[in-house]
Structure 1
Amino acid sequence: MEEAYEYLKANFEITEEDWKIIASKMFEEKFKKKDILLEAGEQENMLSFLSKGVLRFFIPAEENKDNDITFDFMFEKKFVCGDESFLTRTPSLYGIEALSDVVLYRFTYDDLQDIYKRTGGADRIGRIAHQRLFLERSQRLYSFLKYSAKERYQNLFKENPVLIQEIPQKYLASYLGITPQALSRIRRQIY
Structure 2
Amino acid sequence: MITQIAQLLKKHLQGYEASVPEEELMQLSAQFTLKTFAKRDIVFSQTEVCKEVLLVEEGILASEFTQPDKTVISRFFRPANLCSNLVSVIQQTLASDNIMAITPVTSLSIPYHLFYQYYLHSSTFGIFLRKKLLENMVEAKHFISIKTISDTEAKYQFLETNYPKIIRDTPSKYIANFLGITPEALSRFLARRYKS
Deviations 1:138-163 (A, max 9, x none): 22233345683113212212333334
Q: 2: distance between equivalents of 1:83 and 1:14?
A: 26
Q: Which residue of 1 aligns with 2:31?
A: 25
TM-score normalised according to structure 1 size: 0.84
Instruction: Let me know the Cα RMSD of the aligned residues.
Output: 2.4
Deviation at 1:93, TM superposition (A): 1.3
State the alpha-carbon separation in 2 of the partners of residues 145 and 130 from structure 1: 23
TM-score, length-scaled by structure 2? 0.82
In structure 2, what is the Cα distance between the partners aligned to 1:162 and 1:37? 21
Select which of 134, 139, 142 maps to 2:142: 139
Match of 1:15 in 2: 20
Match of 1:6 among 4, 8, 11: 11
CA contact (8 A) 2:74 2:178 kept: yes
Distance (whole Å) between structure 2 residues aligned to residue 10 and residue 167 of structure 1: 28
Letter in 2 for 1:10: G
Matches within 5 A, 1:40-189: 40-61=46-67, 67-116=70-119, 119-145=122-148, 148-189=151-192
- Matched residues, number: 188
Offset at residue 118 of structure 1 (A): 6.3
1:5-64 CA-partner distances (Å, limit 9, x unpaired): 2122223423225533421211101111111111112111111111011101111356x7
Mapped partners of 2:184, 2:177: distance in 1: 11
- State the Cα deviation string for residues 55-85 of structure 1 (Å, max 9, x = none): 01111356x7xx2221111111211111111
Secondary structure at 2:14's aligned position in 1? helix
